[in-house]
Amino acid sequence: MECVFGLVGDGFAIVAADTSAVHSILVHKSNEDKIMVLDSHKLVAASGEPGDRVQFTEYIQKNVALYQFRNGIPLTTPAAANFTRGELATALRKNPYSVNILLAGYDKEIGPSLYFIDYIATLHKVDKGAFGYGSYFSLSIMDRHYHSGMSLEEAIGLVDKCIMEIRSRLVVAPPNFVIKIVDKDGAREYAWRESLKDVSVTSA
């Protein structure tokens, strides 16, 4: 089941998410990318109801882009996080989106940052955060091994430790993960951790 987690290192932020599209007991897909590149220097890793997740993250992405067009300056990471929280909080008392979000970003003045926003719109700036069943394992692993100012190698090592723990201890562990990174050079995909390749079905 869903595992989304992230951490802040020295000059970068990393987020990882499982890539399984699950419906009750069926796995429909194991290469579903749940981390959206919000703009050049922001990543949104989301978990929750699949429809809400896609709808809401795209809505945020387009509105952040609209802001940039109108004002000629991009939204900072804290500004984008507060905007996201605002939208989620307004929706909460009408028809709520059930999406949990980890928003990672890099700003020239602020440096890397990671924001925790849950589906009821609780916003908090964190060094490390996680959602879903995987959080029971990844949070503990990160509590044990995380320290401030981690290098990229250390951080990737920690992310791999978390993935290994989820794979070995979680009954409903997803097979594949995607890791994305954001630093001064922008937001981009870093790597995949796949234990199961999607096989193409031979046509009948």
Partner 1 sequence: MSIFEYNGSALIAMVGKNCFAIASDRRLGVQLQTIATDFQKIYKVHDKLFLGLSGLATDAQTLYQRLVFRHKLYQLREERDMKPETFANLVSSILYEKRFGPYFCQPVIAGLGDEDKPFICTMDSIGAKELAKDFVVAGTASESLYGACESMFKPDMEPEELFETISQALLSSVDRDCLSGWGGHVYVVTSTEIRERILKGRMD
Q: What is the binding site for partner 1 (CB under 8 A)?
A: 85, 89, 92-93, 116, 118, 120-124, 126, 129, 135-136, 139
Closest CB to partner 1 among residues 59, 136: 136
Task: Give min distance, CB of 126 to partner 1, in A.
Answer: 6
Task: Find the angle CA(158)-CA(163)-CA(166) to the nearest 5 degrees.
Answer: 125
CB atoms inside a 10 Å sphere around CB 50: 16
Closest CB to partner 1 among residues 38, 88: 88
Task: Give min distance, CB of 188 to partner 1, in A.
Answer: 27
Q: Give the closest residue to 196 by CA, choosing from 179, 176, 178, 171.
A: 176
Residue 105: phi and psi, rounded to 5, are -160, 165
How far is the C-alpha of 111 from the C-alpha of 92, rounded, in Å?
31
Task: Give min distance, CB of 143 to partner 1, in A.
Answer: 9
How far is the C-alpha of 46 from the C-alpha of 6, rounded, in Å?
11
Closest CB to partner 1 among residues 9, 129: 129
Closest CB to partner 1 among residues 136, 190: 136
